[in-house]
C-alpha cells in the first residue's frame, strides 16, 4: 500500500509538467551561399567553389555564377575568375603559396552582398607509414591503415590517391575507371556516433596500383567544421546519430562551407607489389 500511495502522490506532479508548445518551423529555408576553398603550401593556382544550399537529400546544388572573388594574403590581392561560365569554380589569376606566418582574407561579392572569411596555416607533423593488405577472397588489395582516428594534440586530413588505370585487365574495376581518392581524418575529439558509425564501403585495387598520400594540417576551427560535417554524413545512420543542423563555418553573413589554409606533405609514390 505504501508503494501505491507514493505513485499516486507523484502523478499530479508528473501531469503538471506537461506543456503544449507550438513550434514555428520554416519549411522552405532560404538558399545560402556555400563556399568550398583551400590553399596549401604548394605553389599553384587555387580555386574556390561557390554553390547554393539544397533542401533535399541528394539534390544537386545550383552553382553560383557572376560573383566577384578575391584573396588577400597581407601583401598582395589575388583575383579569382570563373574558369568556365556557369561552373561556379573561381580560379586565382596567378599561382601562390600558403605560408604559416600569414593570414588569408577571402572576399566574395554576390548580388551586392559581401561575405568574408579569414584563415591561417599551422604546421603538419610527419606521415605515418600507410599500410595495405591482400584480401584472399578476391585477390585484391585494400588500405588497412592510414593513421590513428584520435590524436590528443592535433587534427589532420589525409587524401589517398590510388591509380590502377594502367594495370592490364583492370580498367573498369570501379566507376572511376581505375582511379579513386580516399579521405581519412585524425581528430582531437572522440564522438560516440563516430565509434558506432555504419561500416563504410571498402575500395579494392589490384597489384601494380600506384598510391600517393597527402597529409593536411587542420586548424582547430577547420577540424570543428570537418567534425560537424562527418557527424551528419559518414557517421550518420548508426546507433547514435546527431540532430541535423548547419555545420560549423568560418564564412560571414550566414553563408555555409569553409575557407581553409593547410600545410601539406606528400609521400613518395607507392607501387603495390
Per-residue pLDDT reduced to its tens digit, 258-268:
999 999 999 98
- Within-domain flag for 252: no
Q: Verify that 139 and 113 share a domain, yes or no.
A: no
- Within-domain flag for 8: no
Q: What is the edge-to-edge ordering of all strands in the sheet holding 256-262?
A: 113-120, 103-110, 68-72, 77-82, 89-92, 47-52, 33-40, 256-262
> At 44, which CATH number?
2.60.40
Give the separation between CA 142 and CA 189, rounded to whole angstroms. Answer: 26
- Within-domain flag for 12: no
Q: Verify that 110 and 202 share a domain, yes or no.
A: no
**Cβ–Cβ under 8 Å, residues 93 and 104:** no
- Within-domain flag for 25: no
Domain limit, last residue, from 76, 94, 120: 120
Supply 37's cell numbers.
Answer: 576553398
Domain limit, last residue, from 61, 96, 120: 120
Write down the number of H helices and E strands in the chain: 3, 15
- Within-domain flag for 77: yes
**End-to-end CA gap in the chain:** 77
Q: Verify that 148 and 241 share a domain, yes or no.
A: yes
- Within-domain flag for 14: no
Q: Which residues of the chain have pLDDT under 50?
A: 1-11, 13-15, 25, 27-28, 175
Phi, psi of 257 (to 5 degrees): 95, -165
Q: Quote the number of domains for the chain.
A: 2
- Within-domain flag for 1: no
Tell me the per-residue pLDDT of 165-176, one tens digit each, with 9 for 90 and over.
Answer: 888 876 555 545
Q: Verify that 39 and 139 share a domain, yes or no.
A: no
pTM of this structure: 0.81
User: Which domain range does residue 177 map to?
Assistant: 131-245+264-271
Amino acid at each position: 500500500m505504501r508503494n501505491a500511495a507514493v505513485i499516486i502522490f507523484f502523478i499530479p506532479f508528473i501531469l503538471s509538467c506537461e506543456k503544449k508548445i507550438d513550434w514555428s518551423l520554416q519549411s522552405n529555408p532560404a538558399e545560402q551561399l556555400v563556399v568550398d576553398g583551400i590553399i596549401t603550401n604548394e605553389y599553384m593556382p587555387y580555386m574556390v567553389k561557390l554553390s547554393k544550399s539544397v533542401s533535399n537529400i541528394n539534390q544537386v546544388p545550383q552553382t553560383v555564377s557572376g560573383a566577384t572573388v578575391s584573396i588577400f594574403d597581407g601583401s598582395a590581392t589575388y583575383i579569382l575568375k570563373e574558369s568556365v561560365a556557369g561552373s561556379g569554380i573561381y580560379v586565382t589569376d596567378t599561382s601562390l603559396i600558403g605560408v604559416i606566418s600569414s593570414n588569408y582574407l577571402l572576399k566574395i561579392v554576390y548580388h551586392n552582398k559581401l561575405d568574408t572569411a579569414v584563415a591561417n596555416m599551422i604546421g603538419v607533423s610527419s606521415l605515418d607509414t600507410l599500410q595495405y593488405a591482400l584480401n584472399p577472397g578476391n585477390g585484391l588489395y585494400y588500405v588497412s591503415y592510414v593513421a590513428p582516428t584520435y590524436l590528443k594534440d592535433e587534427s589532420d586530413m589525409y587524401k589517398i590517391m590510388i591509380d590502377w588505370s594502367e594495370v592490364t585487365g583492370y580498367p573498369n574495376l570501379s566507376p572511376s575507371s581505375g582511379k579513386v581518392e580516399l579521405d581519412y581524418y585524425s581528430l582531437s575529439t572522440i564522438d560516440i556516433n563516430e565509434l558506432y558509425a555504419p561500416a563504410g564501403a571498402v575500395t579494392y585495387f589490384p597489384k601494380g596500383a600506384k598510391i600517393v598520400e597527402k597529409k593536411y594540417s587542420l586548424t582547430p576551427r577547420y577540424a570543428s567544421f570537418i567534425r560537424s560535417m562527418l557527424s551528419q554524413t559518414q557517421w550518420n545512420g548508426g546507433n547514435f546519430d546527431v540532430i541535423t543542423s548547419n555545420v560549423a563555418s568560418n564564412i560571414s553573413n550566414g553563408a555555409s562551407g569553409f575557407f581553409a589554409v593547410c600545410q601539406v606533405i606528400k609521400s613518395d609514390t607507392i607501387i603495390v607489389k
